[in-house]
A and B are shown apart, each in its own frame.
Chain A
Amino acid sequence: MTPRISYFEASARKRINGIVDPGTFREILPPEDRRVSPHLGLFDAPVSFDDGAIIGEATVDGKPVFLFAQEGKFRGGSLGEVHASKMIGLLQRAALKKPSAVIGLFDSGGVRLEEANAGEIGATEIVRAIFETQAAGVPVIGLIGGSCGCFGGASIISCCCDTLIGSEEGRLSVSGPEVIETIMGVEAFDSRDKALVWRTTGGKNRFLFGKLARLVSDHIPDFRSAVIDVLAPRQPDSTASLRKDLASLQSRLDTYGKDTDARQIWKQMGLDAAKVPEMTPAELAAAAKKS
């Protein structure tokens, strides 16, 4: 048995190196180029030579891919001006060079508040760039499993990807639990209740709703296998495909819209709600298929 190599705990560069074919990653605008945030200094905040975004080219299973990875250990993987622009540039480059896919390793609390306007505008420039890359025929695959999860603007960006792969640890939601608690009160969301946070925003719930195409364990090689598994040409959106998505989202809202705990949802889905948190990804996939 191979020892577990935690995706959750790894740095962004370690994750990239575990996803791509060994030795193939070529970083674009590496730390030596020192493209630091021009704004953080005004707030007496430290800068990073890569601004928390690592981008470049590599192969996966022999196929050329472009990658971006957010470093959660630098300011929560937040979207600042340089950080977002590196992702936009990579996506625009992909639209021109047409690799087999762009792979995005999300690990972000969302927009960087010290650069809030640049981060928010940047988030939508990234979305626009994803759409244009997809229109050029290049699929965009997102991975979620880092310690900062995928929140705020980053959550919306990730859901624009063609395919999402995540672990149970990979939390995904627009407003983070702490933000909901701060703004709406502890009775709206108790962010210290970790089990509640995982049930609500964690990968299992997102997998059962079909938003994660693959649920994997917190092991970098499992993320790599899943990426290889989903590497395929993309199906462009059409009125028919979006009508189908709309109907499915409407039915989800009608069926589960009054639920206040994922356990109610899992029970309605025909699962043993008490057992879901303990199930392995394979067990959950099997149970979901049966129910």
Chain B
Amino acid sequence: MELNDLLNSFFPDGHSVAVDGDLLCGEATLGGETVAVLGTTNHAFIGAREALVITDHLLSIVENTPGRPIIMLVDNSGQRMALNEELLVLPEYISTLLKTQQLARSTGSKLIALLYGPAIAGGFIAFGMLADRIIAVPGAEPSVMKLEAISRVTKMPLEKLEDLAKTVSVFAPGCDNFFKMGGVYEVWSDRFSEQLSKLLATDVSRDLRAHLGRERGGRACAQDVIDDVVRA
């Protein structure tokens, strides 16, 4: 979905989302209530600078309007791959962004991620995967690595990977696969505003992904291993 279509279909009652380069931030009205909206567009790369700007926006929400629902618009091409980003300890920039998402959660905000473009590897971890619920809308393409690159790194023939990808959801890119693994909570294709309001009215506090992965057959053993360790 294009950003403007997305904003208009989710927030027909109005929004004040401003785009600054690849980053966006603002407020919207949903079912008579105000929600915070932030995220990225243009298939952004998530580097140190992007992580800082989003962290700053999140902290402002916690400081000024604690408990307000936060809608995260996810469209990224992954973490920025560059020597100078890594020189500065990029994982620390990302972990600070994650800690801030957790702070928002612990001060009462519900975090809902809407995937509307690519959501890749470290970029998806930094922004999207730590939400309470992850929703895919048309255009969503969650992935870790393209099959071509997996083939290069693992030295497995691409044809074999393409063949496996038809039946195995554990490694290949795509919404259906992430859904089966429990990594995408629901896939929406219409009634966006209504479905989001409904979701925000539910209890989203528990991380259900391993449980859903078992139910949907994509991750048959994750929840069982977790339960066995807790009970051991």
Contact = CB atoms under 8 A, between A and B. Distances in A.
Contact of A39 (B56, B156, B168): B168
Contacts of B91: 155-156, 158-159, 172-174
A19 interface: no
Which of A120, A174, A183, A184 has most chain B Cβ within 10 Å? A174
Nearest to B96: A245
Nearest to B83: A189
Nearest to B153: A113
Interface string B56-77: 1001001100000000000000
A88 B210 contact: yes
Main secondary structure of the interface of B (DSSP, over half): helix
Contacts of A239: 59, 62-63, 103
A261 B88 CA distance: 10
A237 B220 contact: no
B178 interface: yes
A286 interface: no
B95 interface: yes
Contacts of B150: 113, 116
Given A39-B170, A117-B169, A119-B144, A211 B92 contact: yes
Interface residues of B, number: 74
B52 A89 contact: no
Interface stretch (B19-27, B35-43, B125-133): B125-133
Nearest to A265: B87
B48 interface: yes
Main secondary structure of the interface of A (DSSP, over half): helix
A118 B180 CA distance: 10
B67 to A, nearest CB: 13
Interface in B146-185: 149-150, 152-154, 156, 164, 168-172, 177-178, 181-183
Contacts, number: 235
B208 to A, nearest CB: 10
A246 B96 contact: yes
B83 A256 contact: no
Interface in A103-118: 111, 113-118
A249 B81 contact: no
Interface string B110-138: 00000000000110111001100000000
Given A39-B170, A89-B230, A121-B129, A174 B225 contact: no
Contacts of B90: 173-175
Contacts of A86: 225, 229
22 contacts: A29-B228, A38-B221, A39-B168, A43-B164, A81-B222, A89-B225, A89-B228, A93-B230, A96-B230, A116-B145, A118-B213, A120-B121, A128-B130, A153-B125, A156-B94, A159-B89, A201-B86, A209-B89, A237-B99, A242-B55, A246-B96, A253-B88
Interface of A: 28-29, 35, 38-39, 42-43, 55, 81-82, 84-86, 88-90, 92-93, 96, 111, 113-125, 127-128, 131, 135, 152-153, 155-156, 158-160, 172-175, 179-180, 182-184, 188-189, 200-201, 205-206, 209, 211, 237-239, 242-243, 245-246, 249-250, 252-253, 256-262, 265
